[in-house]
Structure 1
Amino acid sequence: MKQDGVWGADTVAKFRRESFKPVEVLLKKLDFDVYRALGNRPWKLNYLSKLQAKILMRLPNIVNPKKATGLLPAGKKGATPPEPGRDVLIYAAKNSGAKLAYILPAVESRLKAIERFVSDAMQRAGIVSDPSVAERARKVFTRGHVGAVILTPTRERATEIGNQVLKVVHNHHDFEVRMVVGGQARKVQMRDFMKGRRDIVVGTPGRIRDLLENEDEFARGMAKASLLIIDDAATALQLGLRDDLDAIAAYLPPKEKRQTWIHTHVLSLPLQQMAKSMLEEDYRFFKEGIIEKQELWEKVEQYHTVLPSARDQLPHLCRLIAHDQLTNPGKSKVIIFTPAARMAQLFGTFLRGLSASLPGGEDTNVYELHSALAPHEREEITQSWRDDHSGCSVLVSSEISLSAEQYGDCSRIIQVGIPSSSGIFKNRLARLQAPNVHHRADIVLCSWEIGFLTWMLGEHPLKPCTTGKLQELVEKKAEAFDANPAAFFPESAKEQAEQGLVPGEFRKFEGSVAERVKNTKTVYEELLPKMDELAIKETFAALLGFYIPKSGDLRAARPIIVQGCKEWAKECCGLEEEPYVSPEFLRRLGMEDGRTRHFGAAWLERVRGVAVKPWMLKDVAKHSVKTPWLGRGLQKLKDRPTEEPSWAGGAGELDANDPVSDPESYRSQTYGRASEKLNDSDSEEIRKSQQLAAIKAARKEMGLPIAELRTNVINSQPEEPLYLPRERPLAVEWESAQGPSSFQAPPGVGRATPHPQSDRSDRQSDRSDGEIFAAPPTMDGARARLKIRLALNSPVGPRRKTSSDDVPGGSDLWDRPPLPVGNAIPRFRRNGGGNGNGSGRGGGW
């Protein structure tokens, strides 16, 4: 009953009874002392949350060992064996009671394990009842075996979890919780660990991994843990703790023998990958309080194609465009995204030549939008694309900075090659918002790019689309159009408006569409000899610059990527031979920079539960170390001979047969960190590179040497040198209320730019480290303010205001303290204390 806007007590009680389960339902499922702690002091709980009820109602079977042998009481061999325990994934919203939902099973698991060990010890000793023997067995087990390990990303959350565990075991006075977090002394933590019980260990991944790798006793105890709980796993992955989690799991028993619980409030792709590696396939999944919100990209029908050969790339691309024109007649607008601007230019040329094989024929409009165009050209092309209602338009783009509103509506997205990142791919799919259109997205990859699908696009609902199946489908649709064109293009203006067509602007297909579609391969083969070889090689170099830094996303070695790009240039673009690149060219593209992306591969191997030490490498047979790579990183092995890869070479000159532009112009942003905005310098760089390519091609035809043109055109014009000191570069900025030519500079202050008109010996100058600063020109009649920024190569300290005597000219300037010299060097103290001179407690440096 509701009175005066407040729910009555009877209504609240009824709502709680219907929505939540009372704590009394756990009376026979929990240890009685634990149940008393929940119902009375210190918890005083009355009801369980929905998530807690889902999990705790499965006690005690949910915490049984995975191999449920030895759990039957004596004399009950014919009884039904209990259900073995399984791994658990908790996907719950915040404030859903998840911590208590996994703390109670952890405590119950520990208590049951102690009971089983004591019972087995008594049975092996042939004793029915002896409290002293039972107490000794309990002490041996609790001080030698870790019960549950709870990992959480922050020390504050670890403290909160530890306090809740202590409240649960309030009536078990001998139950102990070990806190292993950063910011506390390791000696104290190891002392408590070795002298006390090891019922539950709560800590942060960084400190626990540190102790595992450096403390053998800690590693031995953790090697016997039966339960691993990872709390707030999504936050841990965001903080970059995946390597620590994998390293810790490597010390624990294998996942076939231990139970693993993972709690998260965000089910991201990296978390799904971690769950797949840590949990067994038959894990339990609990979900509560999550409001599913479908993203725009999830509503799009998505397909992927792994080409059998690079020769099939362009014909398959044409058939995808033809399929969209036949699926959305009069409304087709296809956007093709490529990895590089040069590839967008090349494919734009290809598609104009292949338009004769499309249903729209040569009336198909092909637009290009990439960074090689000037800003006003990009604006004009974007506007033309938005205003195009012909129903036969294709936009080839490498642009990533424009939003969906700037691109306008489209009917299909085709990604050729991998995108810069999965987030960019999602943003591109979000552009498919046009009404009355069948939307679809396709990603077309070569065989060596397939790793990107598994590792980066695992959460996308991608369906396979083979080249043969698509060809068969397009030919059937083309035959259906030839049989009844009126079914595709209605005659009345009313029906056209209902279907979303723009009367008078859309184009109907002329002639036999089926015949044109079947000639796609023939038109493509006839077009290959007409393509420019230099443009193909430039595109090949641009692809190398894009793909080499992304070897981690592809899960492919860089030599394989280079060979895949060479095969693409030969098979797809029709070169007679694979393009040549020198080892020096590949080195400048980042071929041997040593960078990669690690997705949590633990570097440690467990050797009998003991951390691997460098001294163990001296006697491999004695310590059973079978991993020869454990010697990496030792100083004594730093000079060992290594075999260089075939593509590796020292710093040298580029070859005359390399791509014509400077290698830096082909390099893309590493690991998908693309720039948000494209500026004019990018367009200017590509334009200058194209000019240099044309010059080299002309010189090559005339038989003139071209090796000496190996310079970047952008930086070829020498700049006037600035006479600045190396250690303290001075930046001066003048500000005036009346303009830049009407004020007097303070005397004695140097200008950061030289005077090109005057001779160096005639300048009024100041000296700093032996270098000359030209004085600024004289300006009168205005108020001015001088800002000086000093960039020091020393540690940045607090600023102080110097007196007028410190600076020539008598002005008060803000300066930083000078570098300490002589006895003024500050001393640092250890964490243990000290008075700064090395004589205090804990010692000094």
Structure 2
Amino acid sequence: MLFSSFGFKKYINDTLFDIGFETPTSIQNKVIPLIKKHKNVIGLAHTGTGKTHSFLLPILNNLDLNVSFEKRHVQAIIIAPTRELAKQIFDNIKPFQKQESKITCGLFIGGEDINKNISNLRKTQPMIVVGTPTRIKELYEQNELRITTASYVVVDECDMIFDLGFIEDVDFMISRVNQNVVISLFSATIDENLRPFIKKYLKNSIFIDDSESIPSTKNVEHILIDTKNKEIELVLSNLVKSINPYMCLIFVNSKDNISSIVKILRKNNVGHVGELHGNLQPRTRMATLKKVKNNDFKYVVATDVAARGVDIEGVSHVISINLPSDSNYYIHRSGRTGRSNLKGKSYVLFNIKNQQRIEELKNKGIEFSIQKLVEGELIDIKQREQKKKKNNLNLDTESKIVISKYKNTKVKPGYKKKRKDELEKIKQKRKREHIKESIAKIKKEKYKRRRSELFGD
């Protein structure tokens, strides 16, 4: 199926052609026809599956573009949990505005000058409102942004909105919109605490579960690095020495871990290192994200909250410093790489305590290879074991008995050295025997030649 099959207006098809969109993703195939027909939708989908355009395209298609400048009103509200994600959605609308100049869109996020927002709103109300919950609510309460006329409301990354404590602001805004509004809610997971909100506003909704569609998994190699008793600094240092990324995102579970990871990277002279986390000032975060998108950093250390939902091009490697408590967050992380038919690698520094989470991810269809730090190098454990087995096949019976002795009995400290010494003795013994056999063979050949010369036989 192609995008042209949805029956979009000409300017949408022209824009899709310009930006190189031909074939819709799984979530787009399921959601676009529903929103286009004014149906309420609850969509479960991971980052990187194309859900932004699954709601943008039908809304853009259904906009009333024939209203006069004086009568322009808010027709759609798109609510995002973070400034970065709101800005990204806003930027995704811009190509369509180039093809259709009548479309107006306003971005309303924290950290921006609210007086500038008010000044623009007093000139005209935008057809599409994109923003964060607190700023949209603030402008509505000041009677500057008139959201009550909206025909569509989209709540993107709803689970994250709940985690950040914005669900009450969203509840407040939706309760002010007309009763016939079409509501779309997108989330990676549906938390039990979200159900009252869903029951209140999305009674007649169609549930689309596309969470099994893991983004870019066929292009991503998932690698577990066994840390065991080794320091994170040692493992990470050796890892960054062994890769040469175009861009590498390093995820931590807490913003408190950011500084220590940045310190390790700088000690290894990897160049400029970027940071994305909640402690950054709004302007600094936006400036950092701009640099990230301009590929000014080779390594970026981030928290899940700061980087969630933000589309960053050119990520060749992802490193997770330990696994997140929610396995879905790992899918978000690894989904940052392997996009646009490019290959990517996702490394996880893990230990035995993470085994249950690893099993959860395996059940979701993710296949891991395991690597281990050996003498400063990362070695694929399977290859290493195969090499050992191959070498063991060539061992003599006496050597195999020695290996078996130390393998199957309770050993004392220093057993490795004892085993090595015993094997070395056997090796030297075999070497002497080989030399003796060679000498005997040479003498035999000489005897045969001499006999042939004397007796002609």
Larger helix fraction of residues: 2
Q: Does 1 or 2 have the higher relative contact order (CA < 8 Å, sep 6+)?
A: 2
Work out which of the two has the higher radius of gyration on C-alpha atoms and give 1 or 2.
Answer: 1
TM-score under structure 2 length normalisation: 0.45
